Amino acid sequence: MQKALFVFLGMFLFLTACSTDRTIDSSTDNSTNVEYLKMEGYVVEKREHGGIYQLLVIGNITKDDLENKTKQELIKEAGGTYFYVKKEIYSKVQEGDKVVVWMEKGQPLQTSLPSETSAKKIEIIEE
């Protein structure tokens, strides 16, 4: 029961941290509109295993939280999402970077805690 509550809470926090952005998907026919969800947060962890690259992004936290709390505390308090990314993005982004992540609206979201999905685009925000 407690695990289900955490999954629900994580999904709720993730979805409330997202906003909708209409843009053109540059990887397909330019006449097709694709809707994206946009999330802003901090990169808390980078992990790579067997050529699969992921970034853990947690929204609704401060730089102070990032520096003074463990990854587990941040996940418990704010949720977060592991985003699958390309190697080029993985090599440019560092833990502690503030980022905006775009993902296609309606794409599968694995309901683990933290959840997992693919990132369409990631932009580092300069602070």
Query: Which CATH number goes with the domain that contains 100?
Result: 2.40.50.140
- What does the pLDDT read at residue 45? 98
The identity of residue 28, as a single letter, is T
Residue with tokens 């980022």: 99
Could you tell me if 99 and 43 are in contact, meaning their C-beta atoms sit under 8 angstroms apart? yes
Residue 45: domain span = 2-125
Higher pLDDT, 21 or 81: 81
Domain count for the chain: 1
- What does the pLDDT read at residue 103? 93
- DSSP state letter for 53: E
Query: Mean pLDDT, the chain, as a whole number?
Result: 80
Joined tokens for residue 94? 């560092």
Q: Which residue, 110, 102, 51, 42, is CA-closest to 77? A: 42
